[in-house]
Amino acid sequence: MAVETTLSILKPDALEKNKIGDIINRFEEAGLTPVGLRMVHLSQNEAEQFYAVHKERPFFGELTEFMTRGPVVVMALRGENAIERNREIMGATNPDEADEGTIRADLATSIGENTVHGSDSPENAEIEVNFFFSGTQLFDR
């Protein structure tokens, strides 16, 4: 297994519910270490760019409206097998289908307002980490 870096976003609903600490704690306990972290309120343009791969999907408008509703926390998480581990800790996209004890099963409201984002491949992890963090904003720790 290799050490990887992946992008995590705590979505607006996570912040509205005051769950930043709860969620970061789950990652730290699982051996995923934040090596970059900041709060940002995405513009409509940034949200559309970030989710460009979904632009033909019927939920695209709803998704970008939700993601710009309030601030989000963006994090680069590093650890063994971080991309897959993050996805396991998040749970399935639809909280009704997410395994017990996952973030989405415990905290998400719906398939749209599902609390967290996590990169789904090494290629996307690199693109997504670079979308939010320059090299000097990432720390070896």
Characterize 46-55 residue by residue with b for buried, 16 or more Cβ atoms within 10 angstroms of its Cβ, and e for exposed: bbbebbeeee
Considering the complex, state which of residue 81 and residue 124 has its C-beta at the smaller distance from ligand UDP: 124
The greatest distance separating any two alpha carbons of the chain, rounded to the nearest whole angstrom, comes to 41
Site for ligand UDP in 38-57 (CB under 6 A): none
Among 15, 42, 63, 129, binds ligand UDP (CB under 6 A): 63
Q: Enumerate residues 119-138 that contact ligand UDP by CB under 6 A.
A: 120
Near ligand UDP in 70-129, by CB under 6 A? 93, 111-112, 114, 117, 120
Give the nearer residue to ligand UDP in terms of CB position, either 121 or 137: 121
Tell me if 104 is assigned to a ligand binding site: yes
Q: Does 117 qualify as catalytic in the annotation?
A: yes
Interface positions with ligand UDP (CB under 6 A): 59, 62-63, 93, 111-112, 114, 117, 120
Which residues are documented as binding site for ATP?
11, 59, 87, 93, 104, 114
